[in-house]
Structure 1
Amino acid sequence: MEISSVIATAQSYITRQYEQHADPVLVYHNLAHTLQVVSAAEQIAAYYRLTEADQLVVYLAAWFHDLGYILGDRTQHEAAGAEAVKTFIAQQQLPESIGQAVADCILATRIPQHPRNLVEQIVCDADLFHLGSKDFSKRNKLLRTELELATEQKISGADWAKSSIQFLESHTYHTAYCRTLLKQQKEENLEKLRGKLEQKLAEALEEKKDKTFKADKEEMKEGKKEEKKEKEKKPERGVETMFRTTSTNHIRLSSMADSKANIMISVNAIIISVLLSVLLRKLEDYPNFILPAIIFLTTSVTTIVFSVLATRPNVTSGRFTDQDIRSKKANLLFFGNFHQMTYQEYEQGMETIMKEGEYLYSNMIHDIYNLGVVLGRKYRLLRLAYNTFMFGIVASVLAFTIAAIFFPVKG
């Protein structure tokens, strides 16, 4: 039995069948796929050093395994291919046992695969060899296109990625050779699919947001304002980030201003206590230090006053009316506007804000503006406190120096 001549005859027969029954739908299960499976089968078979009979079984199964796609019912293509190879074996006057072995190999490729011996395992792994190759992405796209053409239904990128991930996760190569050779690339292909799925889901979410925004905008043009008010409008990420960052920066700057003011208050309180407890008792003996001491004391007191003004809280009336809510004048994000209200009144006002996106944005803008105004006042007073302390200290030191040198106390 010449294996090479039988294989050559099978190759010519299969090639002729695909050329005579060309189907534009079969962009994946075509002659190119069959050639790839044959090549993979030859590679795996060479590793296991099969007998001539087993080699013939593997090669014929690789050539005929998808022939059923062009012969009849595609859902039962394995059975059609098995029958076709039996007919071919009989025509070649080969033993019936070989025909049955080849048919069993083809039937074993049906998903989920259940090979019972080494030759069936080799054919099954050759059929799905591309799952662990760098060619996987291209082949997977062709399979998706074929299914869309066959069913005349569009398959979304996310759905296809999900099904592909499930298939790769459930699949295991049957031969040790393929498990060792293809494991790493298969894992890389799986990770790429997972990344693509995340990307598709994110794109779908963004597309949904865009559609919602366009629908709301169209309703405004058509005058459907009441219906629009009932819809919850979610702020975009960029807007949320802007408000969050701005508020955080303002609060941090306010905290820094309070800390600086506390430093000024503490330092000057210590200076005043020293002046009152030590220096003032010596002024009778050193009258030339009276003016410098007054300058020093005035500097410290003025600095403390400015620092206290910078940190002194300003509490408003803490009440708002229903009219303020309806006219969108009440800012409920600032405690000073509601601390005198009952919980029920405040809750009702907040529910009104949350239902109207524009009102919510208006409150947030108003709140940030007020924070900025308060922050500007704090830093202005704090600057006055620091300037007063700086120039006052310099003036006091100069005054003490002049008094000690030019107006010494005469003994």
Structure 2
Amino acid sequence: MKEKLLLDVETYVADLLNKQLASTNYYHNTIHTRQVVAYILELAHTEDCTEEETLTLLLAGWFHDTGFINTDNGHEEESVKIARAYLSQENISEDTLNQIEQLILATKSEVAPNNKLESIIKDADCGHIASDKFLDISENLLQEMNAKNASNFSELEWAKQNLVFLKNHSFYTDSAKRNWQPKKEVLQLEIQKKIDKLITKANKKSKKTKFGRGVETMYRVQLKNHIELSAIADTKANILLSVNAIIISIALSNLIPKLDNPSNLFLVYPTLILMLFSVASVVLSVLSTRPKISNVAITKEMIKEKKTNILFFGNFSKMSLKDFEWGIDYLMDNEDTLYNSLTKDLYYLGLVLNRKYKLLRITYTVFMFGIIISAAAFIYSYYINMPA
């Protein structure tokens, strides 16, 4: 009789939920109902319930969520109506029906249990808390809430709500406290770790938003422009070096050997002026292209405190390979430090360019005035020494 009744009830409830339950019930469905019934059997056995008490609990467990076919709010009352309508035809006594009604109503989240049976069904209704599949089951509940309430909880918000729920939840039966509470505490730690990981991920994403593609493009373009300007400056300095080297070579090979002739003495001063300005131009050109290497020993603390830039070879050349690898890994893990290094690289490249172009301007000025003064000196010397 008992087994046949339970089998008939299982068939009826499963058919009812499968056919009439909304497709958005991802959590409150046949699967959840079967899980609750299984938890009731486990707790009824460990709590030494009588056969009659177990039957009453199982009947309440099968019907406790059937009201969802009609409504979400107040579904417990609807479940009671459905349970009474069916069980009254199965010759169930009024006392048992009343007891089943109280058990179904006891599954409300805000209701505290008044006796052992109510404690069992409430613990069974939350038995998934001690399940290894809690996170998957929780995702189903989230999906149901989002679909029905048009809510849109983020993964982090939902994890925080789960943690609050677990901290505020209490088991009522001794069996659940003994067997399920430790699993719940382990689950709390896992969810806390998940929250920490999600917060870290969100922070990294925030930093990525701060240092997005536009910022990366800016650094790339500016560094490229600085390098190209540096190459242009070196080319200009090389032109001056070449021109003045040719002038000095011609002067040394053609002009100076002729100065020992008394008739060519008027060329001494113009030649000296030309040589002087050419040598000055060469020296200034060399200074503009002369590299400057830092002698500061880089430490890990300097990298962490953003006091140096290890992306420049002049800085990391004094580091050991192990420290340099650590520094690069640190930059990859800390985008703010990485971009700070790029900023320093851009700044110091600008200082080098400023020095180069200042020296180049002086060099071209010296060369220009040198050529003019030398030419004027040669013309003047020829003029005053021309035969009458």
- Using the size of structure 1 for normalisation, the TM-score is 0.53
Counterpart Cα distance in 2 of 1:103 and 1:147: 26
Contact 1:105 1:120 in 2 (8 A): yes
Question: What does residue 168 of structure 1 align with?
Answer: 166
Contact 1:108 1:114 in 2 (8 A): yes
Counterpart Cα distance in 2 of 1:241 and 1:17: 68
Contact 2:27 2:140 in 1 (8 A): yes
Question: What does residue 15 of structure 1 align with?
Answer: 14
| Residues 1:196 and 2:256 aligned together | no
Q: Tell me how far 1:102 sits from its aligned partner.
A: 0.8
Which residue type is aligned with residue 304 of structure 2? Answer: R
Q: Tell me how far 1:248 sits from its aligned partner.
A: 9.3
Written as runs of structure 1 = structure 2, the 5 A alignment for 1:55-94 is: 55-70=54-69, 72-94=70-92
Which residue type is aligned with residue 156 of structure 1? Answer: S
Corresponding residue to 1:243 among 303, 319, 326: 303
Cα deviation 1:200-222 (Å, max 9, x = unaligned): 1111122222223338649979x
Question: What does residue 45 of structure 2 align with?
Answer: 46
Shift in alpha-carbon separation, 1:359–1:21, aligned structure 2, 3 A? closer
Contact 2:308 2:341 in 1 (8 A): no
Cα deviation 1:130-176 (Å, max 9, x = unaligned): 10121212211111111122223321011001100000000111000
Which residue type is aligned with residue 115 of structure 1? Answer: P
Cα deviation 1:49-92 (Å, max 9, x = unaligned): 3223211210011101111112x221211111122112222121
Q: Which structure 1 segments of 5+ residues have no match?
A: 222-239, 251-356, 370-411
Counterpart Cα distance in 2 of 1:241 and 1:200: 29
| Residues 1:36 and 2:96 aligned together | no
Shift in alpha-carbon separation, 1:219–1:110, aligned structure 2, 3 A? farther
Counterpart Cα distance in 2 of 1:247 and 1:219: 24
Contact 1:161 1:196 in 2 (8 A): yes
- Using the size of structure 2 for normalisation, the TM-score is 0.56
Question: What does residue 229 of structure 1 align with?
Answer: none
Written as runs of structure 1 = structure 2, the 5 A alignment for 1:170-319 is: 170-214=168-212, 217=215, 243-244=303-304
Which residue type is aligned with residue 24 of structure 2? Answer: V
Cα deviation 1:224-279 (Å, max 9, x = unaligned): xxxxxxxxxxxxxxxx98733785999xxxxxxxxxxxxxxxxxxxxxxxxxxxxx
Contact 2:120 2:173 in 1 (8 A): yes
Give the number of equivalent residue pairs. Answer: 243
Question: What is the DSSP-based 3-state SS (H/G/I as helix, E as strand, rest coil) of the residue aligned with 1:153?
Answer: coil
Counterpart Cα distance in 1 of 2:15 and 2:341: 72
Q: Tell me how far 1:25 sits from its aligned partner.
A: 0.9
Question: What is the DSSP-based 3-state SS (H/G/I as helix, E as strand, rest coil) of the residue aligned with 1:75?
Answer: coil
Corresponding residue to 1:111 among 106, 109, 134: 109
Q: Which structure 2 segments of 5+ residues have no match?
A: 220-299, 311-338, 352-388
Counterpart Cα distance in 1 of 2:216 and 2:304: 30
Question: What does residue 124 of structure 1 align with?
Answer: 122
Structure 1, 90-99 or 32-41: larger mean CA deviation: 90-99
Counterpart Cα distance in 1 of 2:341 and 2:171: 60
Counterpart Cα distance in 2 of 1:186 and 1:149: 27
Cα deviation 1:366-404 (Å, max 9, x = unaligned): 6xx9xxxxxxxxxxxxxxxxxxxxxxxxxxxxxxxxxxx
Which residue type is aligned with residue 244 of structure 1? Answer: K
Counterpart Cα distance in 2 of 1:241 and 1:138: 44
Question: What does residue 230 of structure 1 align with?
Answer: none
Q: Percent identity?
A: 25
Shift in alpha-carbon separation, 1:246–1:115, aligned structure 2, 3 A? closer
Question: What is the DSSP-based 3-state SS (H/G/I as helix, E as strand, rest coil) of the residue aligned with 1:74?
Answer: coil
Counterpart Cα distance in 2 of 1:244 and 1:196: 27
Structure 1, 240-249 or 3-12: larger mean CA deviation: 240-249
Question: What is the DSSP-based 3-state SS (H/G/I as helix, E as strand, rest coil) of the residue aligned with 2:73?
Answer: helix
Contact 1:113 1:124 in 2 (8 A): no
Which residue type is aligned with residue 97 of structure 2? Answer: G
Q: Tell me how far 1:37 sits from its aligned partner.
A: 0.6
Counterpart Cα distance in 1 of 2:20 and 2:116: 32
Corresponding residue to 2:157 among 151, 156, 159: 159
Which residue type is aligned with residue 49 of structure 1? Answer: D
Counterpart Cα distance in 1 of 2:302 and 2:194: 29
Question: What does residue 96 of structure 2 align with?
Answer: 98
Q: Tell me how far 1:48 sits from its aligned partner.
A: 2.3
Which residue type is aligned with residue 182 of structure 2? Answer: Q
Counterpart Cα distance in 2 of 1:97 and 1:77: 22
Contact 2:80 2:101 in 1 (8 A): yes
Counterpart Cα distance in 2 of 1:44 and 1:62: 12
Which residue type is aligned with residue 132 of structure 2? Answer: K
Contact 1:3 1:52 in 2 (8 A): no
